[in-house]
């Protein structure tokens, strides 16, 4: 046995010595020598070291196997992390990239904070950029989140921009390309980021921003400026900055025919007609180009060239359609005459008779004037046609075209007069209908009513009548002509039972019944809506439930609110329905359920209701006298929604809860916060009273009075300040300082409201007792004489009798006691005393 132990010790020493030598060889870069030493050595560390040697010798397949073997052995944590990243590295370098990525992802998931994780995430992102851009986005996003200080972060931004662009999310792509431009100075990243963003802005139609960014690019990279000249030109053209567009156009290296056409249009708009004509020639051979070319020549006064261009273009085709002629010579002759006459009209004067101009010439002149946006010339041509050719076969068409031109030119009254003229001779003309329809779309409110009625009456088969009838109903509704609106809505249901406007019409009709006070009809109407539109069902149920709620029929309201919550969980009215369920239970004094549903609102998406829901949950707890829970809920409102409009109300309720728990000092401090933030006078007055009350509870009457007087000065011009004055007097009286109380009551009489003077007179009278009963009598008498219906009148009359009786005037006292018994039978407590006095 001793020999075996000796042998093992010697073997262990040799093994350790061999492992130490192998480690030194490895650290010296003699990987093959180290590997030879470790060839048959087993164990966790030797296996790891052998794998490392193979990795350094670029024998990645063998290294991969050894690393896998090492990973299954008990290793030090630091070494285990390195092995986790070496396994995918071997796969990657041996060309097995798909397998490597899966292993990389496992390694990053296991050790997200390791220094190698950043490089690995970058490699994962690069790999997925080509095959799965969404996964690349996840990898790069994680890289930025976990390693915000990574070097070359601009490169990550750039790759994220490309990935988002690949998946079609250009908004996010733009966000990351902007980060590249904000953070990087690398031209290889900034140039493509600039170009991508410029192209994106242009495609979005944001031409001003496109130009701004393009100017930056030109400044930063003047050598590459030509790459974006086309884009700058297009932006300027679209923005109608024609002068600038003309200047930039020569910078475009190889302009397309479309760009030549835009260039020509810009030249035309800037009155460079000669250059425009040359540019049009380079823009292709379409009829519209010939037409535009003709206008350029026309503006130059070159009638022959204009004639030739028009002959090849739209005008030639138009006359062919109008006349049905095939003789080119006749057509050309007419065209030449038309162009000549148009030139005369435009530059030399007006025509006066049929001998000056033919009907066809005038028609063509009107059409050309329309093309040139010469609205007044177009109108005059149509007017001339009507004047010179009153029997024209196309008179109806000319009237219609004239009316539309008048509307386009803003001459609405003339268009209305023309429409009235057409009613006599062409009552059912499609041109008249078109005119009426255009006028209706311009007119608003009451002014549209007669035109809507004309269309609905004279053109019963017009396809848009259901919309017009709905609009007629809406206008009457807006004018509070509810009977007429109701009639129109009902007519809509009868004439157009399949119209998509029936659901909104039913909502309006129900609203009309509400305004007329017929809530049963309103509810029945809301209940009809789901049969026409399931999409509108939740809203209809909600409105119907609201009517039940307003009638205090909370059970019926609950049925509909619950139906919304159950059947339409994703509808926009669901949060409001949940909130209203809470209100129903609150109104039914079921405060526990009210709390449940108010709190449920907090789980909804609608943020607008959450503060109020939590607030009313606090109210429910308060009503249950669970002041601790109420305090907790009110505090949560203030914590979560500090800027909400109800913050002051919530703080006031919190103070009340603290007060009810006897925590007067905390309540006082909370009320004082209400005073600082409240904008409502009512809230401020309430808070002032409560602060003073807290001081009284702390036996600080002097402090309460001082506090009231301070606010009395601050609210010098406020109509509610009398409440504070009255309260000061009351505290003085309660603390036995009757003379001071009397002074404050008399000060109140100087500005307090009339309806409160009886109270002041009563307490002034009381302040004189028992020392000055005669003075007291005077003021009690004022209450009785001036305010016989006052709550203080009975007590005042009774005390007058007592004062007289005490003074020995039994006769007068008896009269007043008898009067008291007769007038104040409901005051049995005092009536019994009065009878005892009379008996005595």
Q: For residue 384, which of 405, 363, 400 has the smallest C-alpha distance?
A: 363
From the number of C-beta atoms within 10 Å of its C-beta (0-12, 13-18, 19+), residue 519 rates as middle
Among the ranges given (117-121, 446-450, 561-565, 702-706), the one the predictor scored with the smallest mean pLDDT: 117-121
What pLDDT sits at residue 635? 92
**Structural domain span for residue 506:** 463-524
- Rounded CA separation 102/139 (Å): 12
Q: Are 655 and 670 in contact (CB under 8 A)?
A: yes
How many distinct structural domains can be found in the chain? 3
**Average confidence (pLDDT) over 412-431:** 88
Return the pLDDT at 717. 61
Instruction: Look up residue 168 and give its DSSP letter.
Output: T
End-to-end, the C-alpha distance of the chain in Å comes to 132
- Mean pLDDT over residues 76-88, rounded? 79
Q: Is residue 243 part of a domain?
A: no
Q: Residue 578 has what pLDDT?
A: 92
**Sign of the C-alpha dihedral computed for residues 747, 753, 757 and 760 taken in this order:** negative
Mean pLDDT of 59-84: 80
Q: Is pLDDT above 50 for 7? A: no
Task: Pick the most confident of 34-38, 621-625, 687-691.
Answer: 621-625
Residue 46 domain-assigned?
A: yes
pLDDT digits (tens, 9 = 90+) for 181-213: 888 888 888 888 888 888 888 888 888 988 888
Confidence grade of residue 357 (pLDDT, cut at 50, 70, 90): low
User: What does the pLDDT look like over 139-157, one tens digit per residue?
Assistant: 878 777 877 777 778 887 8
User: Is the pLDDT reported for residue 120 higher than 80?
Assistant: no
The per-residue pLDDT of the chain, averaged, comes to 81
Question: pLDDT (tens digit, 9 = 90+) per residue, 597-639?
Answer: 989 988 887 788 889 999 999 999 989 999 999 889 989 988 8
Spell out a b/e string for 182-219, using b for 16 or more CB atoms within 10 Å of the CB, else e.
eebeeeebbeebbbbbbebbbeeeebeebbebbeebbe
Q: What is the mean pLDDT of residues 560-564?
A: 90
Percentage of residues of the chain with pLDDT beyond 70:
88
Q: Is 483 left (phi over 0), alpha (psi -120 to 50) or beta?
A: alpha
* Domain boundary residue, one of 494, 524, 554: 524
* Confidence band of 592 (pLDDT split at 50, 70, 90): very high
pLDDT tier, 9 (very low <50, low <70, confident <90, very high otherwise): very low
Q: Which of 476, 508, 524 is the last residue of a domain?
A: 524
Range among 166-170, 295-299, 504-508 rated most confident: 504-508
Q: Is residue 510 in a domain?
A: yes
Would residue 787 count as lying in a domain? yes
533-555 pLDDT tens trace: 888 889 989 999 898 999 999 99
pLDDT at 349: 46
DSSP per-residue string spanning 122-139: HHHHHHHHHH-HHHHHHH
Classify burial at 414, counting beta carbons within 10 Å of its beta carbon; exposed 0-12, middle 13-18, buried 19 or more.
Answer: middle
Q: Please state the length of the chain.
A: 840
Residue 544 lies in a domain: no
Residues of the chain with pLDDT > 90, as a percent, come to 6
Query: What HEC string does 607-653 produce?
Result: HHHHHHHHHHHHHHHHHCCCHHHHHHHHHHHHHHCCCCCCHHHHHHH
Domain closes at, from 475, 508, 524:
524
Is the pLDDT reported for residue 2 higher than 50?
no
Which residue, 688, 685, 616, 707, is CA-closest to 653? 616
The answer to whether the beta carbons of residues 67 and 90 sit under 8 Å apart is yes
Average pLDDT over residues 3-26: 57
Report how far residue 192's alpha carbon sits from residue 155's, in angstroms, rounded to the nearest whole number.
12
Q: Which residue has the higher pLDDT, 145 or 300?
A: 145
Report the Cα 173 to chain-centroid distance in Å: 24
Is there a contact between 451 and 441 (Cβ–Cβ < 8 Å)? no
> What is the rounded distance in angstroms from the CA atom of residue 707 to the CA atom of residue 715?
12
3-state SS, one letter per residue, for 717-742: CCCCHHHHHHHHHHHHHHCCCHHHHH
pLDDT at 583: 92
417, pLDDT greater than 80 = yes
Residue 273: per-residue pLDDT: 81
pLDDT band at 318; cut points 50, 70, 90: very low
| DSSP 8-state assignment for residue 253 | S
- CA triple 553-554-555, angle to 5 deg: 95
Residue 521, pLDDT > 70, answer yes
Q: Which long-range contacts (CB under 8 A, 24 or more apart) does 197-202 make?
A: 198/228, 198/231, 199/231, 200/170, 200/173, 200/174, 202/231, 202/234, 202/235
Name the pLDDT band for 321 (thresholds 50, 70, 90): very low
Q: Which helix (H) or strand (E) holds 657?
A: helix 647-660
Burial class (CB in 10 A: 0-12, 13-18, 19+), 823: middle
Read off the pLDDT of residues 375-394 as tens digits, 9 standing for 90 and up.
777 787 788 888 888 888 88
Nearest-Å Rg of the Cα atoms of the chain is 47
Q: Per-residue b/e over 307-332, b at no fewer than 16 CB within 10 Å?
A: bbbbbbbbbbebbeeeeeeeeeeebb
CATH number for the domain that contains residue 72: 1.25.40.10
Question: What is the C-alpha separation between 799 and 816, in angstroms, rounded?
Answer: 10
**What is the pLDDT, as a whole number, of residue 347?**
38
pLDDT of residue 307: 58
The pLDDT of residue 298 is 65
Instruction: Please state which of the ranges 316-320, 506-510, 531-535 shows the lowest mean pLDDT.
Output: 316-320
Residue 305 inside a domain? The answer is no
Distance CA 373, CA 364 (A): 14
Residue 286 falls inside a structural domain: no
Label residues 272-285 b or e (16+ Cβ within 10 Å = b).
Answer: bbebbbbbbeebee
- Pairwise CA distance, residues 644 & 696, whole Å: 32
What distance in Å separates the CA atoms of residue 43 and residue 559, rounded to the nearest whole number? 74
Q: Write down the pLDDT at residue 17.
A: 67
For 239-276, the pLDDT digits (tens) are 888 888 888 888 888 888 888 888 888 888 888 888 88
DSSP string, 574-612: HHHHHHHHHHHHHHTT-HHHHHHHHHHGGGSS-GGGHHH
Structural domain includes residue 804: yes
pLDDT confidence band for 582 (50 / 70 / 90): very high
């Amino acid at each position: 046995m001793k020999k075996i132990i000796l042998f093992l010790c010697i073997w262990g020493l040799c093994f350790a010595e061999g492992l130490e030598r192998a480690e030194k060889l490895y650290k010296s870069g003699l990987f093959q020598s180290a590997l030879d030493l470790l060839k048959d050595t087993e164990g966790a560390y030797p296996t790891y070291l052998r794998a490392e040697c193979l990795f350094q010798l670029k024998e990645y397949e063998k290294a991969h196997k050894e690393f896998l073997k090492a990973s299954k052995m008990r290793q030090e944590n630091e070494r285990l992390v390195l092995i986790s990243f070496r396994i995918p590295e071997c796969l990657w370098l041996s060309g097995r990239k798909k397998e490597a990525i899966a292993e990389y992802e496992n390694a990053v998931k296991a050790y997200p904070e390791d220094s190698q994780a950043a490089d690995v995430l970058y490699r994962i992102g690069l790999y997925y950029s080509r095959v799965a851009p969404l996964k690349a986005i996840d990898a790069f996003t994680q890289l930025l989140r976990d390693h915000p200080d990574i070097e070359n972060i601009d490169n990550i931004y750039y790759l994220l921009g490309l990935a988002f662009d690949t998946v079609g999310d250009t908004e996010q792509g733009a966000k990351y390309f902007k980060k590249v431009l904000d953070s990087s100075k690398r031209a290889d990243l900034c140039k493509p980021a600039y170009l991508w963003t410029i192209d994106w802005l242009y495609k979005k139609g944001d031409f001003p921003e496109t130009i701004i960014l393009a100017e930056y690019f030109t400044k930063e990279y003047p050598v590459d400026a030509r790459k974006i000249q086309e884009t700058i030109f297009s932006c300027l053209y679209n923005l109608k900055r024609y002068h600038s567009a003309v200047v930039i156009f020569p910078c475009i290296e190889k302009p397309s025919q479309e760009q030549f056409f835009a260039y020509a249009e810009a030249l035309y708009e800037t009155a460079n007609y000669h250059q425009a004509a040359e540019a049009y020639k380079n823009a292709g051979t379409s009829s519209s180009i010939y037409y535009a070319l003709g206008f350029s020549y026309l503006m130059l006064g070159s009638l022959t060239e204009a004639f030739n261009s028009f002959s090849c273009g739209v005008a030639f085709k138009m006359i062919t359609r109008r006349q049905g002629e095939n003789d080119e010579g006749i057509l050309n002759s007419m065209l030449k005459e038309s162009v000549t006459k148009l030139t005369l009209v435009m530059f030399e004067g007006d025509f006066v008779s049929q001998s000056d101009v033919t009907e066809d010439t005038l028609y063509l002149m009107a059409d050309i004037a329309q093309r040139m946006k010469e609205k007044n010339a177009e109108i005059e041509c149509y007017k001339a046609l009507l004047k010179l050719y009153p029997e024209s076969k196309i008179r109806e068409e000319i009237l219609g075209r004239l009316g539309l031109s008048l509307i386009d030119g803003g001459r609405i009254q003339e268009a209305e007069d023309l429409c009235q003229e057409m009613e006599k001779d062409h009552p059912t003309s499609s041109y008249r209908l078109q005119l009426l329809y255009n006028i209706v779309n311009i007119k608003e409110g009451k002014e549209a009513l007669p035109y809507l009625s004309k269309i609905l009456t004279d053109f019963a088969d017009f396809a848009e009548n259901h919309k017009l009838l709905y609009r007629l109903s809406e206008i009457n509704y807006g004018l509070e002509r509810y009977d007429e609106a109701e009639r129109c809505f009902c007519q809509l249901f009868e004439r157009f039972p399949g119209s998509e406007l029936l659901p909104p019409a039913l909502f309006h009709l129900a609203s009309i019944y509400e305004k007329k006070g017929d809530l049963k009809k309103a509810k029945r109407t809301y209940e009809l809506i789901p049969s026409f539109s399931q999409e509108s069902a939740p809203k209809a149920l909600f409105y119907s439930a609201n009517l039940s709620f307003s009638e205090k029929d909370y059970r019926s309201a609950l049925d509909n609110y619950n139906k919304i919550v159950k059947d339409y969980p994703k509808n926009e009215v669901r949060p409001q329905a949940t909130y209203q369920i809470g209100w129903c239970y609150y109104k039914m004094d079921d405060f526990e359920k009210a709390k449940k549903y108010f709190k449920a609102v907090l789980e909804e998406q609608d943020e607008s209701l959450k503060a109020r829901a939590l607030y009313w949950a606090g109210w429910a707890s308060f009503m249950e006298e669970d002041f601790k829970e109420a305090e907790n809920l009110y505090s949560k409102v203030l914590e979560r929604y500090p800027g909400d409009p109800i913050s002051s109300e919530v703080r006031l309720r919190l103070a009340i809860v603290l007060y009810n728990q006897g925590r007067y000092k905390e309540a006082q401090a909370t009320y004082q916060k209400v005073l600082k933030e409240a904008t409502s006078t009512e809230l401020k007055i309430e808070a002032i009273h409560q602060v003073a009350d807290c001081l009284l509870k702390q036996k600080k009457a002097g402090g309460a009075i001082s506090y009231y007087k301070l606010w009395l000065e601050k609210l010098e011009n406020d109509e509610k300040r009398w409440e504070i004055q009255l309260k000061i007097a009351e505290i003085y009286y309660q603390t036995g300082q009757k003379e001071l109380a009397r002074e404050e009551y008399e000060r109140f009489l100087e500005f307090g409201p009339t309806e409160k003077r009886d109270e002041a007179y009563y307490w002034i009278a009381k302040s004189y007792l028992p020392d000055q009963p005669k003075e007291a009598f005077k003021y009690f008498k004022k209450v009785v004489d001036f305010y016989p219906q006052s709550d203080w009148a009975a007590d005042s009359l009774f005390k007058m009798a007592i004062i007289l009786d005490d003074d020995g005037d039994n006769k007068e006292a008896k009269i007043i006691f008898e009067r008291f018994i007769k007038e104040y039978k409901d005051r049995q407590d005092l009536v019994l005393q009065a009878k005892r006095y009379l008996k005595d």
